[in-house]
């Protein structure tokens, strides 16, 4: 089954002194997904932002908000971000004592639920719950910081995941996050991904309007 492709710009790389303007440029009037990287300085070494920012953005823009929780433990923040307006929530299986319970918690708030897999986390980790997930987030860099280089072996992992989903006729999307740029996005798409998290390649480009439109066009062509 062919799935619709979505661009999910990550505001981790945005200029927060000019955030409203950049949100307008990248998200206003389109179906781009707003990707929020939530880090706690515990599960990962970096510290980013909390539910308050999520709520502020939700009140300003109608776009889908995709929250990637790089935190441990996860359950208390699942509730907070769901109440702040998140539409999609993913977390790392290593960060939950009871993964199935955390999945059901996300669903109880009416949010789409996904599991995020680090580069070293095998696909076997999610085999028993893949059928109840809305999406899998493949990390193509190690989590914790933006502007990292894409790990090439991720392409094969995406291909294997796509085969697992197709073979079992699961209604599960594949999201990829980390180091996506104009030189690798096509092969990531061909491998089976349909949600593309792009950060520095948009927000740190010379022209974020043109860069955003470029990536939006390329994932929806062919």
Q: Which two tokens stand for residue 74?
A: 């996860």
Q: Tell me the C-alpha distance between 29 and 71, whole Å.
A: 31
Looking at residue 47, what DSSP letter applies? B
In the three-class reduction of DSSP (H, G, I as helix; E, B as strand; rest coil), residue 137 is classed as strand
Burial status of residue 172 (CB atoms within 10 A of its CB: 0-12, 13-18, 19 or more): buried
Catalytic residue among 13, 37, 66, 134, which?
Answer: 37
Question: Please, are residues 191 and 152 in contact by the beta-carbon 8 Å criterion?
Answer: no
Nearest to 185 by CA among 142, 147, 155, 141: 155
Q: Tell me the C-alpha distance between 180 and 200, whole Å.
A: 9
Q: Compute the radius of gyration of the chain from its Cα atoms.
A: 16
The C-alpha torsion from 126 through 139 and 174 to 6, rounded to 10°, is 150
Catalytic residue among 13, 66, 134, 177, which?
Answer: 177
Q: Which two tokens stand for residue 216?
A: 């939006």
Half-sphere exposure of 138 (CA within 13 A, CB side): 31
Query: For this structure, is 177 an active site residue?
Result: yes
List the catalytic residues: 37, 177
């Amino acid at each position: 089954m062919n799935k619709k492709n979505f661009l999910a710009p990550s505001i981790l790389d945005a200029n927060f002194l000019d955030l409203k303007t950049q949100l307008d440029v990248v998200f206003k009037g389109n179906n781009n997904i707003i990707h929020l990287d939530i880090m706690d300085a515990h599960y990962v070494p970096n510290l980013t932002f909390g539910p308050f920012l999520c709520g502020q953005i939700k009140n300003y823009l109608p776009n889908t908000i995709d929250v990637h929780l790089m935190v441990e433990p996860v359950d208390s923040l699942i509730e907070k971000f769901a109440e702040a307006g998140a539409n999609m929530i993913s977390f790392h299986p290593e960060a939950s004592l009871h993964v199935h319970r955390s999945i059901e918690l996300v669903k109880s708030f009416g949010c789409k639920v996904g599991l995020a897999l680090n580069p070293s986390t095998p696909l076997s980790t999610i085999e028993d719950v893949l059928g109840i997930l809305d999406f899998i987030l493949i990390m193509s860099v190690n989590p914790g910081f933006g502007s990292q280089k894409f790990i090439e072996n991720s392409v094969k992992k995406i291909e294997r995941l796509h085969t697992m989903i197709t073979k079992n006729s699961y209604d599960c999307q594949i999201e990829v996050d980390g180091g996506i740029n104009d030189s690798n996005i096509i092969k990531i798409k061909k491998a089976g991904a349909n949600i593309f998290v792009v950060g520095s390649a948009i927000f740190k480009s010379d022209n974020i309007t043109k860069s955003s439109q470029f990536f939006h066009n390329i994932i929806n062509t062919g």
